[in-house]
Amino acid sequence: MTLHTHTHLYEGAPRRALAIHCTLGHSGAWRGMAAALKDDLSILAFDLPSHGKSGVWDRTGNVHDVATDMARGLIIERMDLIGHSFGATVALRIAVESPELVRSLTLIEPVYFAAAMEDDPGMLAEYKRDSAALDAAFASGDEREAARVFNRDWGDGTPWDTLPERMREHMTRLVHYVPASAAFLHHDSAGLLNEGRMAGASMPAVLIEGDQSPPMSAKVAVSLEKRLPDVTRVVVEGAGHMLPVTHPDAVAVPVRALLARS
């Protein structure tokens, strides 16, 4: 399906990057990093389907396909890709499927659980145990409770009860994205894990994670580090899953180093 794509350009240096935010986020999430990197990049950010001011996904088809097509449609020349969480999995997919479009690849905590589970099938039981409360909320049809649990596990540490009601309503409206993403995030619907596919993503890349993030973040990073041909891995001390928002200056350091060699 074709949706309106809302974009925002953070103007800086002539070199241009495309930034792809996380589930329940929006293009404004890149404000801090854009400021930190203004001497290195201009950042074109956009709102994912149903997020921010972009068009609403009708919940049909594969949402990862829809999001990837939206992102790829914004790349009219080789660009640096920067993605966070769900957005990082979109950036990874574009780098594998269309490497000619990608100058460098920054993956901030990609939630590509399928890679970790491919390497250690026993992680599936561990993941199900850790996500039991979230799964129970979805099973009962309580999307507000699902949003609360998701924010607790994958947010920036701000307690649910202290968030403005408007933000809680926003998260509740979008939390259906989480199970809808499972076809790609859990089951590799695009086949990126097929033997040899990631070898084509030969551009310089960096994996960035926080040392306070959910354990699965590190396990995904280990799996991708083994598969990508030219990648370094960086751990930001004191940071959790929302590190591009909470620690933009620290995240900008390895991004800047990556830009210098690509």
Question: Residue 155: its pLDDT value, please?
Answer: 85
Mean residue pLDDT of the chain comes to 95
The CATH H-level (homologous superfamily) assignment of domain 7-120+181-260 is Alpha/Beta hydrolase fold, catalytic domain (3.40.50.1820)
Q: Which helix (H) or strand (E) holds 257?
A: helix 248-260
Residue 8 main-chain phi, psi, to 5 deg: -140, 130
**Going by C-beta distance under 8 Å and a sequence separation of 6 or more, which residues neighbour residue 136?**
none
Bridge partners of residue 233, in order along the sequence: 207
Question: Residue 1: its pLDDT value, please?
Answer: 63
- Rounded distance, CA 170 to CA 241, Å? 19
Q: What does the domain layout of the chain look like in residue ranges?
A: 7-120+181-260, 123-178
For the residues 174-196, what does the mean pLDDT come to?
Answer: 94
User: Beta strand 205-210 with 79-84: parallel, antiparallel or unpaired?
Assistant: unpaired
Order of strands across the sheet that contains 79-84: 7-10, 42-46, 16-20, 79-84, 102-108, 205-210, 231-236
pLDDT band at 121 (very low <50, low <70, confident <90, very high): confident
| Contact criterion met (CB below 8 Å) for 72 and 99 | no
**Going by C-beta distance under 8 Å and a sequence separation of 6 or more, which residues neighbour residue 257?**
206
Question: Residue 237: its pLDDT value, please?
Answer: 97
Q: Tell me the CA distances in angstroms from 230 to 142, 162, 199, 235, 246, one per residue in order.
A: 43, 42, 9, 17, 27
Of residues 258 and 126, more confidently modeled: 258
For the residues 243-248, what does the mean pLDDT come to?
Answer: 97
- Rounded distance, CA 111 to CA 180, Å? 14
Looking at the predicted structure, is the pLDDT value of residue 153 above 90? no
Pair of tokens at residue 159: 């307690």
- Rounded distance, CA 260 to CA 246, Å? 24
For 7-27, what is each residue's pLDDT tens digit? Answer: 999 999 999 999 999 999 999
Question: Residue 235: its pLDDT value, please?
Answer: 98
**Going by C-beta distance under 8 Å and a sequence separation of 6 or more, which residues neighbour residue 214?**
130, 153, 154, 241
Question: Residue 125: its pLDDT value, please?
Answer: 78
For the residues 162-183, what does the mean pLDDT come to?
Answer: 92
For the residues 240-250, what does the mean pLDDT come to?
Answer: 97
For the residues 46-54, what does the mean pLDDT come to?
Answer: 96
